[in-house]
Amino acid sequence: MYINSIGHYLPEQVIPNSYFQEQYGFHDKDIVEKSGIRERRKAQVSENTNTMALDATEAALENLPYPIEEVNLIIGATYSPYDTVGTVAHTIQEKYKIAPAICLSLTAACSSYCNALEIVQCFFATGKATKALVVASEHNTRYCNENDPASGFLWGDGASAVFLSAEKIHEQDAKILDIKTNGLGHVGKSIRGVFLRPKDGGIRMPFGRDVFQQACIHMQKEAEKILESNQFTVNDLTYLIPHQANLRIIDYIRKSMKLTKRQVVVNLDKLGNTGCASSAIGLSQIYDQLKEDDIAVITVFGGGYSSGAVLIRKC
């Protein structure tokens, strides 16, 4: 399948690390040392997961080479929903009057973007859909506890939208060569490592150390596996786009895979952890820099746990 157009949306409001100094005395350098995060974006009161998804869709629409009404599959990816009935996908369908279209929103935590892309791949394979829109949108600041010194400073808001087609539409469309996802509910602290219970306290990360360790193991493993199973090596890699949870995880993987800093896409310094939108925003940020035959790999790890990878080649 092919990427026809991609875009992202970031809320205007910037929350610098100094904000948390007032909350619980962490200095800027403490937070940078712990996480690599310098600032993050926070949605306004009038914004939510659905409005950010619409704004990301607008950004992706600019370069869309066909009318949006031709889309026949819309998948929202979010673990921080505004509305679980009028979902991200239904909100987009409503705004643009896209019919007929299959619509749903899903979560596998921070892996959700990869899961959504994999479902598109499966729908395309059956011919049930031919053009799809996937929107990853997270409103972490609505569910996190800013006053929690363990993880309150990690989270940011944002969204990214990508239009996909089963057949190549334009010469410059990048090809998604492979997608793999894995549930890892059987591993480590599993569903207790990090959770988001909408009616019971929102986002909590009681076992941050286990999440950190599992992310290091599985994000590297997923990236290497998807390259290998498609007859590529790490040397063929132009960009690695890891889930953006912590710069120390990203640095560990970069060193372990012997990649340069230029090869590894980082946005969490400016955005914090934007959940399943983080790798989606990362892909959007470097998409225009991709040259012919460049290879990009998205690799993700999410709470629950889950992992996944996507292999992309610029045509």
Find the helix or strand (DSSP H, E) in which 115 lies: helix 112-126
Record the tokens describing residue 270, joined without a space.
């400016």
b/e map of 220-258 (b: 16 or more CB within 10 Å)? bbbbbbbbeeeebeeeebbbbbbbbbbbebbebbbeebe
Q: Which is nearer to a copy of itself, 80 or 165 (CB)?
A: 80
- For 178: left if phi > 0, alpha if psi spans -120 to 50, otherwise beta; the answer is beta
Beta carbon of residue 91, minimum distance to a copy of itself (angstroms, whole number) = 6
Say whether residue 259 binds a copy of itself (CB under 8 A): no
Record the tokens describing residue 157, joined without a space.
């808001």
Part of the chain binding a copy of itself (CB under 8 A), chosen from 17-25, 182-190, 213-221, 280-288:
182-190
Q: Which is nearer to a copy of itself, 237 or 309 (CB)?
A: 309
Q: Which of 113, 282, 305, 310: binder of a copy of itself (CB under 8 A)?
A: 305
Per-position x/- string for 192-231, each x denoting binding to a copy of itself as judged by CB under 8 A, each - no binding: x-xxxxxxx--x----------------------------
Q: Which is nearer to a copy of itself, 22 or 45 (CB)?
A: 45
Say whether residue 94 binds a copy of itself (CB under 8 A): yes
- Residue numbers 34-53 binding a copy of itself by CB under 8 A: 50
Work out the number of other CB atoms within 10 angstroms of the CB of residue 261: 9
What is the bridge-based pairing of β-strands 174-183 and 306-313?
A: antiparallel
Whole-angstrom distance, CA of residue 61 vs CA of residue 33: 38
CB 307 within 8 A of CB 30: no
**What number of chain residues touch a copy of itself (CB under 8 A)?**
66
Say whether residue 98 binds a copy of itself (CB under 8 A): yes
Which are the contacts of 153, defined by CB distance < 8 A and separation ≥ 6? 17, 20, 26, 31, 35, 37, 146, 272
Whole-Å CA distances, 20 to 145, 202, 203, 275: 12, 19, 17, 20
Per-position x/- string for 138-157, each x denoting binding to a copy of itself as judged by CB under 8 A, each - no binding: ----xx--------------
Listed residue (267, 48, 252, 245) closest to 153, CA to CA? 245
Whole-angstrom distance, CA of residue 208 vs CA of residue 151: 8
Part of the chain binding a copy of itself (CB under 8 A), chosen from 161-169, 185-193, 234-242, 286-294:
185-193
Q: Which is nearer to a copy of itself, 225 or 248 (CB)?
A: 225
CB 160 within 8 A of CB 6: yes
Sign of the torsion angle spanned by Cα atoms 258, 262, 263, 266: positive
Part of the chain binding a copy of itself (CB under 8 A), chosen from 58-66, 156-164, 186-194, 284-292:
186-194
Part of the chain binding a copy of itself (CB under 8 A), chosen from 88-96, 240-248, 279-287, 291-299:
88-96
Q: Which of 10, 15, 109, 249: binder of a copy of itself (CB under 8 A)?
A: 109
Q: Which is nearer to a copy of itself, 1 or 265 (CB)?
A: 1
Say whether residue 67 binds a copy of itself (CB under 8 A): no
Site residues, a copy of itself (CB under 8 A): 50, 74, 78-87, 89-94, 97-109, 112, 115, 118-119, 121-123, 125-126, 128, 142-143, 181-187, 190-192, 194-200, 203, 302-306
